[in-house]
Amino acid sequence: MKNTHILIVEDENIVAKDIENTLKRMGYTVTGIASSGEEALKKVTNKQPDLVLMDIKLKGNMDGIEAAKQLRSNFNIPVVFLTSYSDEETLQRAKATEPYGFILKPFSEDDIHSTIEIAVYKHIIEKKLRESEEKYRTLVENLNIGVYRSTGGPHGQFIQANPAIAKIFGYSSVSEFMKITVSHLYTNPSEMKEFIKEIKKRGYVKGKELKLKKKNGTPLWGSVTARVLYNGNGGIKWIDGVIEDITEHKRLIDDKEKLITLLLQSQKMESIGRLAGGVAHYYNNLLTSIMGFSELVLYKIDDNSPIRKDIESIKKVVKEASTLSRQLLEFSQKRKIQLNFLNINETIRRIKQMLQGLIGENIILTTALEPDLEYVKSDSDLIEQLIVNLAVNARDSMPEGGRLTIKTENVIIKENDCKSTPEKRPGKYICISISDTGVGIDKDTIHRMFEPFFSTKEVGKGLGLGLSVVYGIVKQHEGWLNVESEPKKGSTFKIYLPVSTKKTKEKSDKNIFLEKYSGNGETVLVVEDEDVVRELATRVFRENGYVAFAASNATEAKEIFKKEKGQFHLIFSDVVMPGESGPQLVYELLSIKPELKVLFSSGYADDKSQRTIFKERGFKFLQKPYAPSDLLLIVKEILHNGN
């Protein structure tokens, strides 16, 4: 090849010059002549030739074979021996240096030309091959995907591996990883058998997901693509494969599926909420009628009447039914958080019956409530949700039944008490303890139990959001919680919420007599689309000193209002009615008579009731179901104090 630079190593000067002239005639460049091995190494260092023509017998202490050996190892320069020595021992020594050619003296120009060309070409090809192998090796070693070669069978060994696979499985080095058997990576031995069976049948696997484990036992999901190579006897010679850690990918997919499930559940609950709102409207109208007529009867019979207890029982049951209805509706509705001074004991007493229904009859529910419990600033629905979630969690830990205890107490946290828990701060707190006699919780689970979507339940039996919601509510109140539990010894959740001061009002006398709130001939327009409720309200007003007119819708109400020339002191209107709504009617009548007093009522518990809007605008609101005494009391207040 043109521009090939050659170093001649020959101890006979005349021969060296002859070789130099021959090479120049052929178009090669001679970089120099050396007569000893030592001189040859120096000239190679300075000149870096493409090829060395080397005689075996040289001056000095280093012969050509030794010089060729050092050139090969230190400079990777091809050597062609040009010598008159051809004995077997010399040839064997020369072969050990892996020369690129061997020319015996005397030689022809064709011999030397063809040998040089082949030697240079071979060296170029080998260099390209080494560069390619180096690129491949670097790529494999720096790849973030594990690459391996292993033997087959139940006791397969790793033959080759890259650093990435050692890192994926938590080993400190490739050498440490290579010491383990393939089966050591499998969580379930049957999966390895299935993998070998599949790759034998098809010759390869692509993107197969396997549940594996790291060095420390941590589960790992791997996606494996591999092919099998067979030996001459039909057995597995080795398996070449790549493996990718898809644990995070699987987690994201799992979370996505849970989010979709949550969305569907949310949509389902929203639909149920709408349905419940409509049912509650009708249901509360019925309860209003039952409660109202029961109370009217009570005021017309003697205290000693044999049926008085029966009617009082009816009234009591209606109150319980209305309380349960309100709880379930408010729990399913979305609304803005309203922080108020709250007594947790009252919340617990109010939802106790509902809790018993949730946890089942095989679990005994007991309460131990602090008599003078301090107030907290909170939203009653948030506290209900917190207690319900913990109660349901406790229920699931007691499938065979047990005992659930809810306890409240006032606590004072001092500076020294804050060292054990980072969230603790000195001050006054109320503590809600919810204890069960269930299966308990191990330490590893306690550390993860408040994570979103973490669940120990079977698929389809929970989204793993209950305790994370509890954690969020507690943090929202700037409180903290502790969990005390041991396997088979039950669990206790302690929630600490900061105390807020509140001046308590004196309780009003509940023994209300209708006569006390009778009217003095004031005129009232009752607008109600439910016949039985309209009849009740009209009757209550007429029998207690009021002049009452009744309308079943807004159109009738406006006709009566016009006929009576607007001579009304108060309009008592349902909110949601067929056609024009109660608020639309009222705003129209107020434009005619601004001093008109207003009282709204509704059986809805959600935004349809517009309760919040009425409060902001100064209108009074009476939630159905209501008793006649409730109606007369609020009407008396409105007529006395105004809207």
Domains of the chain, residue spans: 5-139, 143-245, 338-498, 514-641
pLDDT of residue 635: 92
pLDDT of residue 393: 83
The CATH number of the structural domain formed by 338-498 is 3.30.565.10
Position 410 pLDDT exceeds 70: yes
CATH architecture, range 514-641: 3-Layer(aba) Sandwich (3.40)
pLDDT of residue 462: 41
pLDDT digits (tens, 9 = 90+) for 220-271: 999 999 999 888 787 888 999 899 898 888 888 877 776 676 666 556 656 6
Position 506 pLDDT exceeds 60: no
* Cβ proximity of 424 and 413 under 8 Å: yes
pLDDT digits (tens, 9 = 90+) for 172-208: 998 999 999 999 899 888 888 889 889 888 889 998 9
Query: What is the DSSP pairing of strand 236-245 with strand 146-150?
Result: antiparallel
The CATH number of the structural domain formed by 143-245 is 3.30.450.20
Position 276 pLDDT exceeds 70: no
| Residue 594's pLDDT band (cuts 50, 70, 90) | very high
Examine domains 5-139 and 514-641 and report if their fold is the same: yes
Position 563 pLDDT exceeds 90: yes
Position 146 pLDDT exceeds 80: yes
The per-residue b/e assignment along 44-81, b for 16 or more CB within 10 angstroms, e otherwise, is beeeebbbbbbbbebeeebbbbebbbebbeeeebbbbb
pLDDT of residue 303: 78
Residue 289's H or E segment, with its range, is: helix 247-298
Bridge partners, residue 104, by sequence? 83
Mean pLDDT over the full length of the chain:
82
Report the C-alpha dihedral over residues 134, 137, 142, 146, rounded to 10 degrees.
170
Position 450 pLDDT exceeds 60: no
Name the class of domain 5-139: alpha beta
Position 316 pLDDT exceeds 80: no
Locate 542 and state its tokens: 């007429």
Position 488 pLDDT exceeds 70: yes
Position 599 pLDDT exceeds 50: yes
Position 596 pLDDT exceeds 90: yes
Locate 440 and state its tokens: 């308990």
pLDDT of residue 553: 94
The more confidently predicted of residues 197 and 418 is: 197
In angstroms, the CA 589 to CA 175 distance is 90
pLDDT of residue 101: 87
Residue 526's H or E segment, with its range, is: strand 523-527
Residue 323's H or E segment, with its range, is: helix 308-332
Percentage of residues in the chain having pLDDT higher than 70:
81
Locate 426 and state its tokens: 């000195």
pLDDT of residue 458: 44
Q: How many CB atoms lie within 10 A of CB 123?
A: 17
